[in-house]
Chains A and B, each alone.
Chain A
Amino acid sequence: MAAIETSGLSKRYRRTWALSEVDLTVHAGGITALVGPNGAGKSTLLKLCVGFERPTAGSLRVWGLDPTRDRAGAVASVGYVPQDPSLYRELTVEEHLGFAASLRPRFDAEHARSRLRRLQIPLSAPATDLSGGQQAQVSLAIALGTRAPVLLLDEPLANLDPLARREFLTVLGEAVRVDGVTAVLASHVVAEVEPVCDRLLVLGQGRVLLHETVGQSLAHHRVAPEGAVDAPGLVALFPDRAGAFHALVRASADAPATRPATMEEIVMGYLSAGRAVPTPGAPGEAAAAVAVAS
């Protein structure tokens, strides 16, 4: 079953297209890393799924339901974790669970409570007394307490320190394994989400640039050395941290003069595709785009 299915999905804010004709199927199960730079449309896609936004064009189904026509049904199928935990400063953690239970008929407060106890988060503490990481865990626990089959996480790691991020991802990974939910985790830090993700969905400028399993991505992409602008299967040239350009190619493991690509390189390559980049060998000089992702 498809957890999320879109067809020609587009969303426009005034003159800006946040999403443009997105065709996508996220199959049930596992964690999909939704990556892309700021403004790529990640948050917009998740907000459309949870009924916070309405599409400008196209169709969207979440767990088989259209959030525009049946928002209540679609919301009942998702647990949502926003970037900022959105907790009430006046309520304790326990009261947040009560609040969720008062809004969601089948909210599993005990399920959320047991997760928070395991993380030693004090249930009687006001939300404002918790650290950022703990607040994110409370937000995740509430989303898991909904027992929704689809979990949407809108950059929950953005404001967390490295330790809190790792802890969050551990809990998320365990929840997906144990509860069997489908998670879509938006992030712009690929390296952090890589260890827990099953699928990779790269968004750029409102379009899907890549969507496949992590295993497929790693198996099908290689990095060619600098200057390989004519490498077969070229996706794009992308800069490394030192500023040197490499070629991301779509090729099998036996492709000559290539090495395996990391997930970060794959994402960098797809995000660089179609952008104007300096011609290798002539740094600083403007040149035309060298490749477009297929």
Chain B
Amino acid sequence: MTRALLAFRIHRFEGLALGLLAAAALAFAGGLIIRLASMGIPLSCFLEVHSGDGMDSGCAARSDWAEYWSLASDIGMFAVLALALLPFFVGLVLGVAVVAKEIERGTVALAWSVGPSRRRWLLGVVVPALAAAVGVSLAAGLLADRLELARDPAIDPAMSLHHLGLRGVVLPAYALASFGIALAVGARLGRVLPALLVAGSLTLGTVLGTTTIVDAMLRSEAIAIDESRMMEVRAFAAGRVFDSLIRTPEGELISWLEAEVRYGPMFWEVIEPGGPGYDPTAGFGTAYLVTPGQLYPIAEWRMAVVLGAIGLGGIVLALAIVERRRPT
């Protein structure tokens, strides 16, 4: 019997529980994709939504149009979250089980006294567990991409920053990060429940920190797009809008508050369409600070690499801890 099969036998409770959880999440999302596709809403309807010109009566009048959006938005969000949370559960539970459970139950005494190499023992469990965690999470990530497309077929998910971090290769990176953190914490604490709590908190902090960093990088890459071009380039639907700015008659981009300071309180009346002081010839315009959706692949991989590096760091740390610690 191979080491991987033995590892699965030893951790079969976690394996089966997570397998069922994964199957449920994947089936839920897959079922929703099939349901949305089966409704047969033409692509033109979705294109009209993003055209900015309003919808013709044909699409809006469809009896299933409201049902589609209800499914895609409300139920769809549940499916997105289910898929995105799956890697955390899988990574945390398997990561803790690999070392902490064995220390808590005392079985490491057998493994560490029979096997001259603790590294070999650890890798013998880590490799199949990690392969399972990353494999399931990759399936979830790819399905989440498909779900993103199914929810709005007019937007290419590979060119959209919408739901960045909730789909694609970021999901297996979540699994890797949570697995590595749980492995290291579990190896240090040697107790399952405390390890789960500490590793869960650390993983949450890691993800929030990574998201903040990636967002800051995206913001630094944002460009100004005039309001009139926003629908044309699908900035709202696919890009990440960070700020709204005023383009002055001189062509300078400044904040709204800065504009008020510079042009006085009357500025608000001049730019308000339909207002008593509205003056379309004054030369003011609105622009948005937007990171285009075309940067999604870069942002996605950037996030995945950071999380993956943290996860691998956790595994290396766990190896070092296991090499030195006592079996109780």
- Residues on A lying within 8 angstroms of B by beta carbon are 47, 50-53, 71-73, 75-76, 78-80, 82, 84-91, 95-96, 98-100, 102-104, 107, 139, 142-143, 146
Judged by DSSP, the binding face of B is: helix
Assuming A91-B6, A103-B124, is B116 touching A86 (CB within 8 A)? no
Interface stretch of the complex, out of B102-110, B247-255, B266-274? B102-110
Most chain B beta-carbon contacts within 10 A, residue among A86, A96, A100:
A86
Q: A233 to B92, alpha carbons, bound, how many Å?
A: 64
Check if A99 sits within 8 Å of B6, measured CB to CB: yes
CB neighbours (8 Å) of A72 from chain B are 116-117
CB neighbours (8 Å) of A107 from chain B are 114
Check if A88 sits within 8 Å of B107, measured CB to CB: yes
Q: What are 27 residue pairs bridging A and B, where the CB atoms are less than 8 Å apart in the complex?
A: A52-B109, A52-B113, A53-B326, A71-B116, A72-B116, A73-B116, A75-B116, A76-B116, A80-B113, A80-B114, A82-B110, A85-B110, A86-B107, A86-B108, A86-B110, A87-B110, A88-B107, A88-B110, A90-B13, A91-B6, A91-B10, A95-B9, A98-B1, A98-B6, A99-B6, A102-B124, A103-B114
Q: How far is the CB of B8 from chain A (nearest CB, A)?
A: 9
Assuming A52-B326, A84-B106, A86-B107, is B113 touching A102 (CB within 8 A)? no
Judged by DSSP, the binding face of A is: mixed
Q: A142 to B116, alpha carbons, bound, how many Å?
A: 14
Q: Is B327's CB within 8 Å of the partner chain A?
A: yes
Check if A86 sits within 8 Å of B106, measured CB to CB: yes
- Residues on B lying within 8 angstroms of A by beta carbon are 1-3, 6, 9-13, 105-117, 120-121, 124, 326-327
Q: How far is the CB of A148 from chain B (nearest CB, A)?
A: 10
CB neighbours (8 Å) of B3 from chain A are 102
Check if B9 sits within 8 Å of A47, measured CB to CB: no
Q: A236 to B35, alpha carbons, bound, how many Å?
A: 88
Check if A86 sits within 8 Å of B109, measured CB to CB: yes
Residue ID in chain A nearest B328 by CB atoms: A52
Check if B113 sits within 8 Å of A50, measured CB to CB: yes
